[in-house]
Amino acid sequence: MDDLNSKNLSAQLATPNIQRYILALLYLNNGGDGWIYNEKWMTSTHECNWYGVSCSTYQGIVDKIDLSKSNLTGFLPSELGELRGLEYLVRLKTSILMIIWLLTFMINSTQES
């Protein structure tokens, strides 16, 4: 989260719009309409109140996504790596492609630090 603190005010203010866009990509790329649990997703409700999304570290900034019971299909969008506060991502039925994506994300994050 240090990178969020280091951003100028306009970049910090843009973060909620960007995270909503990225979560919408996750929903649309993974069959969100068919999820078992998709309460409040893609509504006017703040994304921190969408099923499986938590914003407990910084107010209004997504830090955890747990969709393990939602029956996701498809691929995780690479844009998830741009969620500045995301610390946990939980998805049931882990595929080898998801593991590769997560390893790549972790390696890239470590190199940028």
Per-residue pLDDT of the chain (113 residues; tens, 9 = 90+): 455 566 666 665 666 789 999 999 999 998 999 999 999 999 999 999 999 999 998 888 999 999 988 888 888 888 998 888 888 888 755 454 566 666 777 777 666 65
Give pTM, 2 decimals.
Answer: 0.72
> What are the strands of the beta sheet with 53-54, ordered from one edge?
53-54, 64-66, 88-90
Extents of the domains making up the chain: 2-112
Beta partners for residue 65, in sequence order: 53, 89
Highest CATH level, class, for 2-112: alpha beta
Beta partners for residue 64, in sequence order: 54, 88
